[in-house]
C-alpha cells in the first residue's frame, strides 16, 4: 500500500525507527521496504512515493551538514541518536526511485568482558587483545558489514593506556570511547558554499601531524590504505577496520587498496610494509543473530613475497573459538603478560 503523510514527521519511517525491535530499515524507492529484526530481514507492507521519500531524506539530513542533490546523489550521515543513514537518489538511481537505508544505533558493548559474555570471543582471546593494546600493537579488524567490527574497535580502545594520544579518522562518526586524549575527525563532502572536500586520505595525513600514539581508521576501502600504512611505518600504532572474508584476505585487501593511490605504487613494497606494520588480524563473522570472532592471527616475518604468511593464534571450531597452541614472538608479546 502507499501511505500519505502521517502525524509523525517521518511517516511510517519514523514509526519503524521508534520500534525498539527494528535494527535496520531499508527503503527501496516506492516499491519495497524491509526491516531487520534480530539479524533477520523481513518485508513490511509500507511504501511511499518519491516526493514523500525526498521529504523524509531532507528531514533526516537536516543538521547533519550533508545534503542530497544532483551533485551529491550518494550521502552517508549520522543521525543525532547515533544511527547511520545512507541515501542514494537520481541520477545514480532510477528517476522515480530514492533509496534510504538506516542502521539504527544500538547500545554497544562497554568492554571486552561484555562481548565475552555475549559469546563473541573467548576470555583468553580477550586477554590477548588487552595485552595487544597495552603493548601498542597494530590490529586490523575485518569482517562483513554488520559483523561487529566497530563494536570491537570501541572495546579495544577502552583498553588503550590513558597516557596515549589517539586520533580517529572516519567517514561518519561511529567510534565511541572515553579516552582522556582523543581527537576525532570525519570526512566532508564538497560544499555548495565553496567548502573543499575533505577525504579520508586527508584525515589520515592530518592525523600524523598531530603526533598520535595510535591512529584509528574506520572502514578502509580505498587509497587511504597507503597513507595509513605510511603513518604506521612512521612509528605509531593503529587500529583499522575493513571488509574482508578472512584474515589473509584482509591483508590482501590492504595491498589492493594501496595500489589505488597511484601508478607508481610498487606492490612488493606495499606487501613488505603491510607485513611490517600489522601485528594482529581479527576476523569476525555474523551468523544469523550472533556475531563471533572466527580468527585471530599474528603476522610474523614473511616467508614468501607473493603470499602472506599468517600465524593463527585463535581459530573457530565445533566448540567455538579455541587457542591453536601458538603464541606471537617475544618481541611483540611477553609470555609473562599473556598465556592462555
Residues 85 and 129 in one domain: no
Residues 24, 80, single domain; the answer is yes
In angstroms, the Cα distances linking 74 to 66, 86, 90 are: 10, 8, 9
- Say yes or no: 229 and 311 in one domain: yes
Tell me the CA end-to-end span of the chain in Å, nearest whole number.
57
Q: How far is CA 267 from the centre of its chain?
A: 25
Q: Taking 70 as the threshold, does the pLDDT of residue 195 lie above it?
A: no
Would the pLDDT of 3 be above 60? no
pLDDT tens per residue across span 275-328:
999 999 999 998 777 889 999 999 998 888 889 999 999 999 888 899 999 988
Residue 338 inside a domain? The answer is no
Same domain flag for 98 and 214: no
Task: At 262, give phi and psi (nearest 5°).
Answer: 170, 165
Q: Could you tell me if residue 330 is inside a domain?
A: no
Beta strands in the chain (DSSP E): 24-28, 32-37, 40-44, 74-78, 84-88, 99-103, 139-143, 166-170, 182-186, 214-217, 237-242, 280-287, 290-298, 311-317, 320-323
User: Cβ(243)–Cβ(256) under 8 Å?
Assistant: no
Q: Is there a domain that residue 331 lies in?
A: no
Q: What's the grid cell of residue 253?
A: 585487501
328 part of a folded domain: no
| Average pLDDT of the residues of the chain | 89
Residue 122 shares a structural domain with residue 72: no
Query: Of 103, 122, 157, which residue is a domain's last?
Result: 103
User: The domain spanning residue 236 has which CATH number?
Assistant: 3.40.50.300
pLDDT at 133 over 90: yes
Residues 127 and 205 in one domain: yes
CATH number, residue 25: 3.30.450.90
- pLDDT value for 192: 54
* 175 shares its domain with 51: no
Per-residue pLDDT for 250 more than 80?
yes
Tally of domains in the chain = 2
- Residue 226 and residue 296 in one domain: yes
Same domain as 228, residue 122: yes
Percent of the chain beyond pLDDT 70?
93
Domain holding 162, by residue range, is 112-323
Q: How many CB atoms lie within 10 A of CB 77?
A: 23
For residues 122 and 85, state if they share a domain: no
* Residues 167 and 51 placed together within one structural domain of the fold: no
Amino acid at each position: 500500500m502507499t501511505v500519505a503523510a502521517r502525524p509523525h514527521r517521518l511517516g511510517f519511517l519514523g514509526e519503524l525507527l521508534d520500534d525498539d525491535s527494528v535494527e535496520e530499515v531499508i527503503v527501496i524507492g516506492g516499491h519495497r521496504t524491509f526491516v531487520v529484526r534480530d539479524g533477520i530481514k523481513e518485508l513490511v507492507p509500507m511504501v511511499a512515493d518519491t516526493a514523500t521519500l525526498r521529504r523524509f531524506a531532507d528531514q533526516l539530513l537536516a543538521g547533519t551538514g550533508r545534503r542530497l542533490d544532483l551533485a551529491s546523489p550518494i550521502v552517508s550521515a549520522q543521525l543525532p541518536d547515533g544511527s547511520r543513514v545512507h541515501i542514494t537518489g537520481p541520477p545514480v538511481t532510477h528517476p522515480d526511485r530514492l533509496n534510504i537505508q538506516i542502521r539504527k544505533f544500538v547500545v554497544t558493548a562497554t568492554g571486552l568482558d561484555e562481548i565475552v559474555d555475549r559469546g563473541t570471543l573467548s576470555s583468553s582471546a580477550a586477554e590477548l587483545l588487552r595485552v595487544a593494546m597495552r603493548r601498542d600493537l597494530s590490529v586490523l579488524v575485518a569482517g562483513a558489514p554488520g559483523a561487529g567490527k566497530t563494536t570491537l574497535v570501541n572495546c579495544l580502545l577502552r583498553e588503550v593506556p590513558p597516557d596515549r594520544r589517539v586520533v580517529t579518522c572516519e567517514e561518519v562518526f561511529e567510534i565511541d570511547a572515553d579516552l582522556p586524549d582523543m581527537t576525532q575527525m570525519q570526512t566532508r563532502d564538497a560544499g555548495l558554499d565553496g567548502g573543499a572536500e575533505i577525504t579520508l586520505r586527508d584525515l589520515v595525513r592530518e592525523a600524523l601531524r598531530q603526533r598520535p600514539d595510535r591512529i584509528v581508521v574506520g572502514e578502509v576501502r580505498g587509497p587511504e590504505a597507503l597513507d595509513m600504512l605510511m603513518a604506521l611505518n612512521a612509528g605509531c600504532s593503529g587500529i583499522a577496520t575493513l571488509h574482508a572474508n578472512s584474515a589473509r584476505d584482509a591483508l590482501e585487501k590492504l595491498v589492493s587498496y594501496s595500489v589505488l593511490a597511484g601508478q607508481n605504487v610498487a606492490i612488493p613494497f606495499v606487501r613488505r610494509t603491510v607485513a611490517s606494520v600489522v601485528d594482529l588480524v581479527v576476523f569476525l563473522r555474523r551468523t544469523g543473530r550472533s556475531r563471533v570472532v572466527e580468527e585471530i592471527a599474528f603476522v610474523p616475518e614473511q616467508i614468501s613475497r607473493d603470499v602472506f604468511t599468517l600465524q593463527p593464534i585463535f581459530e573457530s571450531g565445533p566448540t567455538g573459538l579455541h587457542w591453536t597452541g601458538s603464541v606471537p614472538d617475544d618481541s611483540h608479546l611477553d609470555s609473562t603478560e599473556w598465556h592462555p
